[in-house]
A and B are shown apart, each in its own frame.
Chain A
Amino acid sequence: MNQKKGRSKFIFLCVAPAFILFAIFMIIPTINVFRMSVYKWSGFSASKEFVGFDNFRILFEDMVFIKSFQNTVLLLVVVTIITMSLALLFAAIMSREQVKGKDLYRVVFYIPNILSVVIIAAIFSAIYDAKDGLLNGFLGMLRLDFLQNMWLGDQRIVIYSVAAAMIWQSVGYYMVMYMASMSSIPESFYEASALEGTGKVRQFFSITLPLIWQNLRNTLTFFIISSINLSFTLIKAMTGGGPDGSTEVFLNYMYKQAYTNSSYGYGMAIGSIVFLFSFGLSLAVSRITKRETLQY
C-alpha cells in the first residue's frame, strides 16, 4: 500500500510542474485568444464590451486584413513550391552523386536555419538596399544596371524580395531532412533500374520521390505552419508590413491591432482566424497528399 502511494506521489511530482507551466502559458492563453475575440476591448478591463461575432464581420470587410490574407497565401504558395523543389533537388544531388566536400556543403547550407530572424532581416536589408546594397552593387559590376531595382521600396516586387529571404532561410533545413530519408533507400533499387537504362530524372520521380513521400508529407504540414510564423517575424523585422501595406501578413496585422491600436479584441479575432486557417490548411494538405505508403 505504502509503495503504491509512493509511486503515485512520484508520478504526480514529476508531471505536475510541467503541466502547470504548460497550462498557464499555453492552454489558458490559447483559450483566451478565442474568448477575447468576441469583445470590443482596449486591453483595460473597464472598457470591455461583448460584441459577439461583430469583430469577425468587420474583419471580412477590412481591406488591410484581406490584403494581409492574400499576401500570406501568396507567400505560402511561392515559398513552399520553390523551397520544396530546391530542397528535393539538392538533397537528391547530395545523396545520389559523388560530391567532393559533401559534408562542408551540408554544414554551410544549414547555417541560415540557426540565425535569428533579426539577423536575416538585417542581412537582407543590406543586400536589397537600393543605393548601397550588395545586390544592386553586384548588378552594377556586371553591367546589368537595367536589372537594378528598389527591392524593398517597390510595392510590386517587395513581397518577392521577402519570399527570397524566407526560401534562403529554409532550404538547407529541408534539404538535410530529405537527405536523411533518401539515405535509407536501398541502393539496389537504383542499380536495378540503371540496368534497365533508366535515367537520373526518371529515377528521381519513380524511385526517390515515392519512397520518401511519407516524410515529404510530414515536412509539408510542418512547413506550412512554420512559414506562417516565419513570414510574420521576418516581415516585422524587415519591412514592418510596408511599403504601404504591400507586405502585410495577418499575424503582423494582429500584432499591430493589439499593441499599436490597442484593439485587443479585434486583434484576437485575427488570431482566431489564423489559428483556424493554419490548422485547417495542414489538415487539408495532409488529406490531399495522402496516398498508399510504399514499403521497402
Chain B
Amino acid sequence: MISNKLYKVFIYVILSLLALSIVVPMLWVLLASVKEKSEFYGNPWSIPAGVFIQNYIEAFTEASMGSYLLNSLFATLLALVILLAVAVPAAYVLARYKFKGRKILNLLFMGGLFINVNYIVVPIFLMLLDGDKLLGNWFPNGLFIDNLAVLALVYAATTIPFTIYLLSGYFQTIPEVFEEAAAIDGCSHFTTMVRIMIPMARPSIVTVILFNFLAFWNDYIIALTLLPGPHKTLPVGLLNLMTAQKAAANYGRLYAGLVIVMVPALILYILVQRRLVEGMTAGGTRE
C-alpha cells in the first residue's frame, strides 16, 4: 500500500518536473521582457519591479521587429497559399485518378520526403544567384535573391512532398460513390474536385495548414540564406538581435523580441492543439 502511494508521488513529481522545465523558462522570458536594464544584474530569478513597456517599443522601432513581423507574415501566408494551390489538386489527382506515369510521380514525391532543405539550401541559393546574373540587364538590383515572394515559393516547394503524402492518404479514404454521383449529375472533373472532394478533405487541409504555418513561421536557415539584405523575417532578425544585445549587454529588447516571435505560434497552438496532435498521429506515422 505504501509503495503504491510512493509510486503515485513519484509519477506526479517527474511529470511536474518536466512541465516546470518547460513553463518556467517561458514565464521567465515573459517577465524578463518587461524588466529594466538595471534589473538584469544580480539575481536572474528576481521578479521585475514593474512593467517596463519600453523594451517592446524599442524592439519594434529600433530593432525593426515590426517590419520583420510583417515580412514573416507575408512570406508565411503567401507560402501557404502557393502550397495549397499546387499541392491540393496534385494530391487529389494522384490519389484518385489512374493514369500513365502515376507510379513514377508518387515515387518521386515519396523520395522527396527524404530530401532535407538544410543540405540543398546552398544549391538553391547559387541557382537564384545565377538567375539574378542572367537577368542582370533588366533587373540590376537582382530579382530572386532578397525577395520575400521567392522565399515563399521555396518554402512551398520544399513542403510539397510531405503535404501530398498527407493529403493523398486522406483522399484515398473517401468512398468512390461521391465522384460517381457527381459524374451522373454532369459535374466536370474540375467542379467535382472543387465543390465536392476538397470540402470533404477539410480536416486534413487544416492539419496541413497548421504544420506548415509553424514550419514557415519558425524557419530561419532558408530565410537567412535567401534574404541577405535588409528584408529579414522575424527569426533571422531575432538571431541578429541576440548577437547585438549580448555584445551590448542589453537584454530587454532581446526578450521582447522573443515574446513577439513566440506568441503567434503559441496562440495558434493553444487554439488548435487537439487538431495538431490528431493530425500528427494520423499522418506522421502512417506506414
**A residues at B contact (CB < 8 Å):** 6-8, 10-11, 13-15, 17-19, 21-22, 24-30, 32-33, 36, 43, 45, 90, 93-94, 97, 99, 105-112, 114-119, 121-123, 125-127, 129, 132-134, 137-138, 141, 168, 171-173, 176-177, 180-181, 214-215, 218-219, 222, 225, 228-229, 232-233, 236-237, 251, 254-255, 258-259, 264, 267-268, 271, 274-275, 278-279
CB–CB B285/A181 < 8 A: yes
**B residues at A contact (CB < 8 Å):** 11-12, 14-15, 18-19, 21-26, 28-29, 32, 40-41, 43-45, 82, 85-87, 89-90, 92-94, 97, 99, 105, 108-109, 112, 114-116, 118-124, 126-127, 129-130, 153-154, 156-158, 160-161, 164, 188-190, 193, 214, 217-221, 225, 235-236, 238-239, 242, 246, 254, 258, 261-262, 265-266, 268-270, 273, 276-277, 280-281, 284-285, 287
Q: What are 14 A-B pairs at a CB distance below 8 A? A: A15-B105, A27-B108, A32-B120, A36-B126, A106-B277, A118-B236, A122-B29, A122-B238, A123-B258, A132-B41, A177-B284, A181-B281, A233-B118, A267-B122
Interface SS of B by simple majority: helix
Give the number of A-B contacts (CB < 8 Å): 241
Q: Complex Cα distance A125/B238, Å? A: 13
Query: What's the least CB distance linking B178 to chain A, in Å?
Result: 17
In the complex, what residues of B have CB within 8 A of residue A27's CB?
108, 112
CB–CB A32/B123 < 8 A: yes
In the complex, what residues of A have CB within 8 A of residue B190's CB?
10
CB–CB A29/B287 < 8 A: no
CB–CB B127/A32 < 8 A: yes
Query: What's the least CB distance linking B249 to chain A, in Å?
Result: 9
A-B pairs with the 5 shortest C-beta distances? A25-B157, A116-B218, A18-B90, A14-B89, A29-B123
CB–CB A127/B25 < 8 A: yes
Query: What's the least CB distance linking A93 to chain B, in Å?
Result: 6
Query: What's the least CB distance linking A269 to chain B, in Å?
Result: 11
In the complex, what residues of A have CB within 8 A of residue B18's CB?
90, 109, 171
Given the contacts A122-B242, A214-B287, A268-B122, A97 and B11 also touching, CB distance less than 8 Å: yes
Residue of A18, A115, A121, A134 with most partner-chain B CB within 10 A:
A18
Return the contact of B214 from the options A106, A112, A114 (Cβ within 8 A): A114
In the complex, what residues of B have CB within 8 A of residue A268's CB?
122-123
Query: What's the least CB distance linking A238 to chain B, in Å?
Result: 9
